[in-house]
Amino acid sequence: MTGDCRDCKDYRECVSPPEWFHYGQIRWCVYQVIFILKHADILRAGHWPKNPDSVDDNAGQRKIKTEASFAKPILILAEVEARLDRTDNHGELLITQIEDGRDFNTLSDGARAILMYVKGARRKRIGFRRWKREVWNAKNCQKVPVK
């Protein structure tokens, strides 16, 4: 990884993913989805989480913006929530585990499956149950019960 998430093509190449992301870096990788869900309350209020490494986010310069400052945080959170809604009530498992402080490596198999469904540049075209049965189980070499 080059250090910039905009250049990243595969989340598995991230040796040490950053703790903070700028909204321009969002490419819907697993670490970014976890970041969004961890800061859902701040994003829902219309603010982007402050960079812990930066002393001041405001450089003292006035800028003219073409959209409201709360638009991007709310839109990004709304996209994650819309993707989670497609998992029916299963998305609550992922949200609960992230709120409990788990990271990507300590998520349960069910929460990891939900995260893999939610990540990606676009929403999945098939429903969660079908995706889990056809894609997730095939990738993880699990036997799929035949009906």
Answer yes or no: are the C-beta atoms of 46 and 19 closer than 8 Å. Answer: no
The per-residue pLDDT for 2 is 47
Place of tokens 């913006």: 65
Q: 78 phi and psi, to 5 degrees?
A: -65, -35
Task: Let me know how long the chain is.
Answer: 147
Could you report the per-residue pLDDT of 41-74, keeping only the tens digit for each? 999 999 999 988 876 655 556 666 667 778 899 9
Amino acid in the structure at residue 59: A
3-state secondary structure of 34: helix
What is the per-residue pLDDT for 92?
Answer: 95
Q: What is the pTM of this model?
A: 0.82
Q: What residues of the chain score a pLDDT lower than 70?
A: 1-9, 55-66, 141-147
